[in-house]
Copies of this chain bind each other. A is one copy, B any other.
Amino acid sequence: MRVGVIGATGAVGKELVAVLGKRSFPVTELRLFASTRSAGTRTHTPFGEVAIEAFTPEAARGLDLALLAVSGDFAKAHARALAEQGIAVVDNSSALRLEADVPLVVPEVNAGAIGAHRLIANPNCTTAILVVALEPLRKAFGLKRVIVSTYQAASGAGAEGMAELERETRRALLEGQSAGHEVFAHPLPFNVIPHIDSFQPNGYTREEMKVVWESRKIMGQPDLLISCTAVRIPTFRVHGEAVTIETERPITAEAAREILAAAPGVVVVDEPGANRYPMPLTATGRDDVEAGRIRANPVFGDHGLDFFLCGDQLLKGAALNAVQIAEGMRAGIEERRRAG
C-alpha cells in the first residue's frame, strides 16, 4: 500500500511513521510530506530511507492512504479533495471531526462507523484516551454524568511544546533565570496552566468542549452530560485524567475493574498496596491506556465511580489511533485498488 504521512516532521508525524513500522502496516511505498522548509532532507524510517517532499495535491496523487498530522486549515483545504481522488484519508486535526458525513473513530469504540468512508477523523487526544475506558463502562452500566479533570502533557502542543518544557526547565534550574515561553501562554516548568486552546463564550476552552462534543459523537450518546477541566502540566507526553462518572445502573469498583480488565486498549494498573497506579512514568510509550484508582464514589450513591487514566498522547492520543483507523480502512482500500 502506498502510504503518505503529511506533516511527517512533527511530533505526531514521526510517531505515525514509527507506529506504521511497529504494527507491520503493509506499506509498499512510504512518502513523507512536510513544509517546504524540510523538503529535500532524507530521513530513516522502518521502511528504508525516505526523502521528505513538499506537499502539493498533485504530488499526493497515487497514494492509497494519507495520514494527515497537520493543521485544521490544511485539512479544510485538502482532506476532502484527497478523499475524492480515491485516497483513504485519516485526519488528525479538529477541523472535520464534527462534520455529519465524517466518522470520528476510536476503533475500540466505534470501528463500525468506518464502513466504506474514505475520510475519517481522528479524535482529540484527551477524548481518545477517555472513551476507550468510558465506552466499556457505558455498555455495562449506562452513563448519566461524566466529570473529567485533565493533567495534560507538553506534547499536546507538538514537538515545540516538548522542547520548550525541557529548555525552560533547564534555564530555570541551571541558570537561575525565570522560565520563558513561546508555545504556551505562560512558562510551563513547575507550573500549571488551566488553559488549552481558545476560550469559548461559555467559559470553557475549546479543548474542554472537544472532550464534550467528540465523546458524545464517538459513543453515540448525544445527550450525555459531560464536562471537562483541561489543564496543562509539566510532563512530556502522557495525559492523565481524573474521571468521575454517574452511571444509569448501580456500579461497584470490583465490577468496573473486571469490565476494564477485559476492555481492548485498556490495561488495569490498580494495585494501591504495591504503589501501582497509572502514571506518565509507566504509560510513556505504551499502546494501552492505563486505568487505575478505581473506586466507588458515594457522591452518586451506588451509581458513582472514580478512576484515573494515563495514556500516551502521541500514541492512543494520536498516531496509534490513526493507524488503527487505517487498519480498519484496509479492506476498502484494497478493494478500490483491485477495482481501479
Which A positions have Cβ atoms within 8 angstroms of B? 145-147, 149, 151, 165-166, 169-170, 173-174, 185-187, 190-195, 199, 202-204, 225-227, 229, 231, 233-236, 238, 240, 242, 244, 253, 272-273, 275, 277-281, 292-300, 304, 306, 308, 310
Q: Is the CB of B194 within 8 A of A294?
A: no
Q: Is the CB of B277 within 8 A of A195?
A: yes
Distance (whole angstroms) from the CB of A300 to the closest CB of chain B: 8
Q: Can you show 21 pairs from A to B with CB atoms below 8 A apart?
A: A149-B229, A149-B242, A151-B231, A165-B190, A166-B173, A169-B169, A169-B173, A173-B173, A185-B275, A190-B280, A191-B279, A191-B280, A194-B277, A194-B278, A194-B293, A195-B272, A203-B293, A203-B296, A227-B299, A229-B242, A229-B293
Interface residues of A, dominant DSSP: mixed
Asked if A227 meets B240 with Cβ closer than 8 Å, knowing A147-B147, A169-B169, A234-B234, the reply is no
Query: How many Å lie between the Cα of A269 and that of B172 in the bound state?
Result: 25
For A174, what are the chain B residues with a Cβ–Cβ distance below 8 Å?
Answer: 170, 174
Query: How many Å lie between the Cα of A295 and that of B292 in the bound state?
Result: 29
Q: Is the CB of A192 within 8 A of B229?
A: no
For A298, what are the chain B residues with a Cβ–Cβ distance below 8 Å?
Answer: 225, 227
New A-B pairs, 6, CB < 8 Å, besides A186-B275, A194-B240:
A149-B242, A170-B173, A190-B235, A227-B244, A229-B293, A233-B234
Q: Is the CB of B191 within 8 A of A281?
A: yes
Distance (whole angstroms) from the CB of A318 to the closest CB of chain B: 19
Distance (whole angstroms) from the CB of A249 to the closest CB of chain B: 19
Q: Is the CB of B194 within 8 A of A234?
A: no
Query: How many Å lie between the Cα of A59 and that of B313 in the bound state?
Result: 57
For A190, what are the chain B residues with a Cβ–Cβ distance below 8 Å?
Answer: 165, 234-236, 280
Q: Is the CB of B173 within 8 A of A280?
A: no
Q: Is the CB of A299 within 8 A of B145?
A: yes
Q: Which of A146, A166, A293 has the most CB of B within 10 A?
A: A293
Q: Is the CB of A273 within 8 A of B192?
A: no
Query: How many Å lie between the Cα of A135 and that of B194 in the bound state?
Result: 23
Query: How many Å lie between the Cα of A272 and that of B308 in the bound state?
Result: 28
For A279, what are the chain B residues with a Cβ–Cβ distance below 8 Å?
Answer: 186, 191-194
Q: Taking CB as reference atom, which chain B residue is nearest A236?
A: B190
Distance (whole angstroms) from the CB of A191 to the closest CB of chain B: 5
Q: Is the CB of A306 within 8 A of B191?
A: no
For A204, what are the chain B residues with a Cβ–Cβ distance below 8 Å?
Answer: 295
Query: How many Å lie between the Cα of A193 and that of B272 in the bound state?
Result: 12
Q: Taking CB as reference atom, which chain B residue is nearest A241?
A: B149
Q: Is the CB of B173 within 8 A of A233?
A: no
Q: Is the CB of A233 within 8 A of B166?
A: no
